[in-house]
Amino acid sequence: MKVLKHMWFAKIVPGQSQQDRLESFYKEQADLYDSYRFRMLHGRLPMIKAMPIPPKGEGVWLDVGGGTGSNLEYFAENLNHFAKVMVLDLCPSLAAQAQERVARHAGWSEFVKVIVADACDAEAPGLPSPGSVDLITFSYALSMIPDWEAALRNAKRLLKKGGHVCVCDFTVDNSQGWGMQTFWASVFASDHVYLRPERRPFLREEFVSVHEELGFGTFPYVPPVLQAPWYVFIGRKE
Ligand SMILES: C[S@@+](CC[C@H](N)C(=O)[O-])C[C@H]1O[C@@H](n2cnc3c(N)ncnc32)[C@H](O)[C@@H]1O
Looking at residue 12, its pLDDT comes to: 59
Whether the CB of 67 sits within 6 Å of ligand 1: yes
CB burial of 37-47 (b: ≥16 within 10 Å; e: otherwise) equals beebbbbbebb
Backbone angles phi, psi at 84, to 5 degrees: -150, 135
| 119-166 pLDDT, tens digit each | 999 999 999 999 999 999 999 999 999 999 999 999 999 999 999 999
Distance 110 CA to ligand 1 centre (A): 24
pLDDT, mean of residues 91-111: 96
- Give the model's confidence band at 42: pLDDT under 50 very low, under 70 low, under 90 confident, else very high: very high
Architecture of domain 2-236: 3-Layer(aba) Sandwich (3.40)
Whether the CB of 119 sits within 6 Å of ligand 1: yes
- Number of neighbours of residue 103 by Cβ within 10 angstroms: 11
Q: Whose CA is nearest to atom 6 of ligand 1?
A: 66
Q: How far is CA 182 from CA 66, 132, 145, 176, 190, in A?
A: 27, 40, 20, 10, 13
Sign of the four-CA dihedral 190, 91, 113, 69: negative
Whether the CB of 169 sits within 6 Å of ligand 1: no
Whether the CB of 69 sits within 6 Å of ligand 1: no
| 5-39 pLDDT, tens digit each | 666 665 556 668 989 888 888 887 777 767 667 77
Whether the CB of 18 sits within 6 Å of ligand 1: yes
Pocket test residue of 48, 140, 152 for ligand 1, highest count of atoms within 8 A of CB: 140
Q: Whose CA is nearest to atom 10 of ligand 1?
A: 141
How far is 63 from 155, CA to CA, in rounded Å? 10
Looking at residue 160, its pLDDT comes to: 97
| 157-190 pLDDT, tens digit each | 999 999 999 999 999 999 999 999 999 999 899 8
CA atoms within 13 A of residue 105's CA, in its CB half-sphere: 23
**pLDDT at residue 191 above 90?**
no
Distance 176 CA to ligand 1 centre (A): 26
